[in-house]
Amino acid sequence: MSPSPSSPSSPSGGDQATAAEEDVAAAGGGCEHAQDSPSGGDGCACDEFRMYAFKVRACTRGRGHDWTSCPFAHAGEKARRRDPRLFRYSGSACQEYRREGSCPRGDACGFAHGVFECWLHPDRYRTMPCRDGRACCRKVCFFAHSPASSAFPVK
């Protein structure tokens, strides 16, 4: 009696894992830092920064620099924003502020004052596709450049 070695039937083929073709080049996914900031470090231009710190945090660079290209808030600056996490306001524009350029409710107002508060509001920021798409070269763009980086429904 000799035991015959049973050869287990091994399934062959059909198990190939195909590497998913990923769009690795995520445009704008990184955290680019402002090149012209002399101190460096704090000029982060990522989405988090734009929504919660851009023109919200007080500038520490003092006077004598270009306010419009500086991402921080300055005393008396119109573009100054309220932190959406600390102040409860919606992404809809305040009608008084729109008409008069100021609002009697001030910081307690439940609506957005100015384009920055409006478009950098977490409810609105990057919810609409950018007209210029990937070709956009705005320093701070409020709109989405690719479906992946936005919240708007894409089919």
Residue 89 in contact with Zn ion, rule: CB under 5 A: no
Neighbours of 117 (CB within 10 A): 26
Q: What is the DSSP string of 54-94?
A: TTTSBP-S-SSS-TTT-SSB-TT-TT----TTTS---SSBP
Rounded to the nearest 5 degrees, what angle is found at the Cα of 71, between the Cα atoms of 68 and 72? Answer: 100
Cβ proximity to Zn ion, 51 vs 103, nearer residue: 103
Does the footprint of Zn ion cover residue 136 (CB under 5 A)? yes
141 sits near Zn ion (criterion: CB under 5 A): yes
User: Does position 130 bind Zn ion by CB under 5 A?
Assistant: yes
Q: Which is nearer to Zn ion, 33 or 105 (CB)?
A: 105
Site string for Zn ion, 93-112 (x = CB under 5 A): -x--x-----x-x---x-x-
Give the binding range for Zn ion (CB under 5 A) out of 21-29, 41-49, 63-71, 76-84.
Answer: 63-71
Residues 9-48 that bind Zn ion (CB under 5 A): none
Which one, 13 or 62, has the nearer CB to Zn ion?
62
CB nearer to Zn ion: give 5 or 97: 97
Amino acid in the structure at residue 84: P
Type of residue at 145: H
CA 104 to chain centroid: 30
Report phi then psi at 96, rounded to 5.
-60, -45
Give CA–CA dist 19/111, Å, rounded: 48
Which positions touch Zn ion (CB under 5 A)?
A: 59, 61, 70, 72, 94, 97, 103, 105, 109, 111, 130, 136, 141, 143
